[in-house]
Amino acid sequence: MIEDWLVKRRALLEARDVDDILRAVDHMNLTTQWVVSKATDAQLEEVTDTLLLAMHDLRAVLVRKKADRLLKGEAAE
């Protein structure tokens, strides 16, 4: 009984994680629109370095993980 609940709970939490990330993507798109249409120079000065560093770190990890998956796929073939 508790094992079934744990399995369902873990699946729910995993689904929520993915949903949170997809919402983060939406927020990034909203941020892009804000930068293009509303942000002042002062606001951009306040957030640019932080955003660039976060995006650089995310990109580096995503590229490395994608390469790892591709290499695993080639090794399996």
pLDDT digits 0-9 by tens, 58-75: 999 999 999 999 999 888
Residues 22 and 11 in one domain: yes
**Tokens of residue 53, six digits:** 């560093």
| 39 Rama sector, left if φ>0, alpha if ψ -120 to 50, beta otherwise | beta
Number of domains observed in the structure of the chain:
2
Residues 3 and 33 in one domain: yes
Distance from CA of residue 30 to its chain's centroid?
Answer: 14
| Beta carbons within 10 angstroms of residue 35's beta carbon | 14
Residues 56 and 29 in one domain: no
Range of the domain at 50: 40-77
**Tokens of residue 28, six digits:** 């990034």
Residues 30 and 46 in one domain: no
Checking if the pLDDT of 34 tops 90, the result is yes
Residues 26 and 55 in one domain: no
Mean pLDDT of 11-18: 98
Mean pLDDT of 11-32: 98
Residues 34 and 45 in one domain: no
Checking if the pLDDT of 42 tops 90, the result is yes
**How far, in Å, CA of 5 to CA of 73, rounded?**
33
Residues 34 and 2 in one domain: yes
